[in-house]
Structure 1
């Protein structure tokens, strides 16, 4: 199974990094631990031949949901794709036969020209149960046990498990467990549902057992397995927060009112075109419990309406049609799925596609013949002229003639690049001199990088870029 992690809310060119401070709470590959009496059930070959795709409807509010897909190496379905069916509250699903493929490429649409295509990259999905929620992909079954068959939290031999998400930042949480003496659930386990701000919950039937062993994961190979020891939880209500288990706990969500308040409307939305790209920016929205994402809707052109989930207050829309007017609105989203009203629209008209630059000539392998030189001049000034000294190249560099010693013993650094035709770089009169000239062989490469919220040119069924990852390990 494969997938990429979700993005974090941030200002332009900023990113929040949080995982390193968890002090061993999370591991990308669970640590080793004694094997259970009956190991977790391995995925069967039949399961690997299908993918059940769950798509969250809570923030879309479409009248219909279509899955437009292509198994790896296969052909795309005919636009708009195959209609998805209701799975449980806020989710639709479709099971796709993959044959011998190891995954599929996918996009979603409402059947009337509004698309979610992962910001132009399409979704790259694996096998088994897969969820797509507000642009985040995970491996989970959000509807497992949902409905009347879910055990009564107050019933005999049940366990209601609450897990704190405030320190892990997961948008999807799975409970992988086994009743004491029983068998493990199939990896990655069963999906937990949002209970209140910072908590998810799941009630499981223990049968004749009096407790369970449990681990938690985000559906993308990141596990909390209690540092490899797994969690031992009793029947009744239990909370797990920062590896601390509290048995017979009070319901952490009992005193909290449901979050029904939508964020404020984003303001000062601006759209600026540059060639066939548009940069959209806006001021942050506010919310009583925090804004988690923004939903940008683009209309215009011949490719229909595009809805993109963005984790910052800037959105780069690239690869657009030439001389075409586009219209953008922005909505704010909180953790409970409440959406603000759309912002005032911002419009921009693209220009012409820039002419592709001429192909350059790679530098040679002989550094003596390379035309690029880097000249570095450094000055160190401690305010004491008795510490002035010229260095080993004082005379050759010309610094002596200009009464410009290399070391004046507050520190200043100049960096200059100079290009000559196969010769040496010559210092300019009156400019800082170098104690030495370094010739550096440079390799030129061209890369295309898509940051959070950026979009590439896309038209169904444009191919995405595959990101590889490993299948999550069953348990610690």
Structure 2
């Protein structure tokens, strides 16, 4: 009997390393074969990385994680490794679970006060590794301030620049520099940036 078209059985691996790690890679054995080297994981959000093993054949997978240098998380000792099965596994702080991490949205309120010659203000930003697809219209607020809420930053750093919708740009002093911020809110005026604040006029008018 010849068996053909056996469906693949992938496994999504989630890993949250120590905050000192700049990246994360996973070295694993599936189907009795080790990967030739540690595979780079993709930063998803809130410090979690993700990698999908194409096919486990429904068997147990043995894995360890590394920062790409000399630091390893191999479940407490060389050769121990994590031994898991199923379609989803999450590893954090030495603990294993068989479900994906849950994430809450992390919005950011952006306040911007442009030069008085500007008739409007727009913000072009990159969050979650993706650009906004064009400068987004900001809402006029009070005292010359404009406001825009980024729906979800995934708790990561946001890169942004502002424009009057024409040829004028405020990109923190030069093309490609941009403002780079994190947190729940940011106020930018006159080239100065302060995080987690609300302009006085907006706070007073609440």
* TM-score normalized by the length of structure 1: 0.24
Greater share of residues in strand: 2
* TM-score normalized by the length of structure 2: 0.50
Q: Which has the larger radius of gyration?
A: 1
